[in-house]
Amino acid sequence: MIEGDMGYSWLVERARGVLGNSYAPYSGIHVAAAIVTAGGRVYLGVNVENSSYGLTICAERSAVSAMVTGGDRDPVAIAIVSDTEEPIPPCGACRQVLAEFNPDMVVVMHSVRSGKTYAARLSELFPSPFRLRRVG
């Protein structure tokens, strides 16, 4: 992981723009994500918590759902913005979902509280994603 945004500060700003839409009454941790595809389209998502915690959706998976709904399947980078002191990486479930579409995408993590930004390839954060081998 490196300090800095690998040239994706504009994507961080897109995610930051929707951070206030996050619904986090239980954890109090607000997260937003912005995914950019190879075609240059940007898809946004925020975390949406639920009193039945297992039904909570992370910002990253929310953005992936928007991307797929929009007809895209080729993300090249994701920016994850949080209001925590340190930037937070995607959880394990989100790493697996992201790897489904591009296991080598750039992951930029930014804290609005501290201003710190870190970036890494998803393959560094999640070196062995589950892969289903198709038969036939």
Note the pLDDT tens digit of each residue in 9-61: 999 999 999 999 999 999 999 999 999 999 999 999 999 999 999 999 999 99
Give pLDDT, residue 136: 66
pLDDT band at 1 (very low <50, low <70, confident <90, very high): confident
Please say if 60 is a catalytic residue. yes
CB–CB of 124/95 below 8 Å?
no
Return d(Cα 101, Cα 74) in angstroms, integer: 6
Choice among 60, 86, 100, 124 that is catalytic: 60
Mean pLDDT of the chain: 96
Note the pLDDT tens digit of each residue in 87-110: 999 999 999 999 999 999 999 999
Best CATH choice for the domain 2-125 from the list 3.20.20.100, 3.10.20.30, 2.40.50.140, 3.40.140.10 = 3.40.140.10
pLDDT at 128 over 90: yes
